[in-house]
Amino acid sequence: MDAETLSRRTLRFVNVAHALDHFVLLIYPTAVLAIAAQTGLSYGELIALATGAFVAFGLCALPMGWLADRFGRRNLLAVFFFGYGLSCLGVASAASPTAFALWLCVLGLASAIYHPVGSTMLVSHSRRLGRDLGVNGVWGNVGAATASGVTALLATGFGWQAAFLVPGLVCLACGTAFLAMVPGDGEGAQGKDRGKAVLAVSRPIPLLVVFACAIVAGGMTFNITTIALPKVVDERVGDGLPLALIGSVATLVFMVGALTQLVMGRLIDRYSLPALFLSLSVLQPLGLGIAALSTGLPLLAGLVLAMAALYGQVVINDAMVARYVPPLYRARAYSVRYFLGFTVSGFAVPLIALLHERGGFGLVLGIAAACGGVIVASAVGFFGLTGNDRSRPLAPAE
């Protein structure tokens, strides 16, 4: 198989895997409503069983880059497809709280594979880095956005088990097709970005510290905003609106974020990453500050602005790893990047509850805006640290 065909096929499966990664992880939070009605267990008891899945999603991302380097990225992505499929079938067969907790933990472990491995594969086979990162981000957002609706439809029509069985079979089918159509990691197509994938860095340690601060603060801001969004709309925009309309407004805000990823992907192919990072970072505290101090349409405008910046930063962060980390260490770098973002953001839920109780969503959004200020400071530092490096020649990617 020629490199061009291999890269094209690989990118398609990486995009599908991104959609499945977010879709499957969000099945249980919706299916749990039907499970509670059938088993007699309370919502609180059942939702707590998913703790292991979300903890594994963050913690287990750390070793995945090393495993990919040792056993091959293609092989590990195949484990993702089959692991997801089998864990879905396992959850569907669960008949006790212990079984639910066990299979959900396996599901979380499988979900941790995608981002470090899939991101590395995307960068290796990309012809236009920014464009491909943007498209990949939209696939992930579509998976997350459709999870609740599809799960509710399957659970209502065929029982909660079907909500896991159908996606599980889809994952197994995708894994089988992936092994048949993608024979190995390959070298990747020699696209436009191949000669400029790695930028020389004169001060790597300070740059790494600044980037880590941006990842941690960005993970916290992203999760505070996205988790709280429906309730924020309900309390400070909806004012008696029906639940369906509140959900539609929240979905619209999320869609703006998804479209921003496409736009940012195009800009990455044309402009310098430090300048884009700095420009976009300012929008986060600005949008969240407006939302914290207002209600109604001004609040909604602030949320749209903040969400666009948050989703755009995800694409920029992935592009930074691709541009500044040599290919030999890229899989491990993505592991650390997602470990920091996913693990630290796990504190978002208890933080929202605590802040909301003490000061409502004005305080919640104010703290999120403060985290956005940390991102701005990190972007300023990143821009300053790479000032001399931007005039340097580009190192070859491979």
pLDDT tens digits, residue range 104-140? 999 999 999 998 899 889 988 888 888 898 889 889 8
Overall average pLDDT of the 325-338 stretch: 84
The pLDDT of residue 295: 83
**Looking at the predicted structure, is the pLDDT value of residue 396 above 60?**
no
Q: How far is CA 358 from CA 222, 234, 351, in A?
A: 21, 18, 11
Q: Residue 99: what pLDDT?
A: 92
3-181 and 194-391 agree in CATH topology: yes
Predicted pLDDT at 369: 93
Least confident of 69-78, 170-179, 353-362, 373-382: 353-362
Give the C-alpha separation, 360 to 229, whole Å: 13
Single pTM value for the model: 0.76
Neighbours of 235 (CB within 10 A): 16
Residue 4: its pLDDT value, please? 84
> Which stretch, 90-94, 125-129, 259-263, 350-354, has highest mean pLDDT?
90-94
Which CATH homologous superfamily contains domain 3-181?
A: MFS general substrate transporter like domains (1.20.1250.20)
| Measured distance CA(98)–CA(101) in Å, rounded | 5
- Six-digit token string for 188: 């990747």
Mean per-residue pLDDT, 352-367: 86
pLDDT at 241 (0 to 100): 59
How confident is the model over 135-152, as a mean pLDDT? 82
Lowest-pLDDT range, 15-19, 142-146, 201-205, 338-342? 201-205
Q: The domain 194-391: what is its CATH number?
A: 1.20.1250.20
Least confident span in 168-172, 252-256, 273-277, 383-387: 252-256
Confidence at 16, pLDDT banded by 50, 70, 90: very high
Q: How confident is the model at residue 230 (pLDDT cuts 50, 70, 90)?
A: low
Write down the pLDDT at residue 240: 58
Instruction: Say what the pLDDT of residue 376 is.
Output: 94
Dump pLDDT digits (tens) for 248-262.
666 677 677 778 888
302: region left, alpha or beta (phi > 0 left; psi from -120 to 50 alpha): alpha
Q: Residue ranges per domain, the chain?
A: 3-181, 194-391
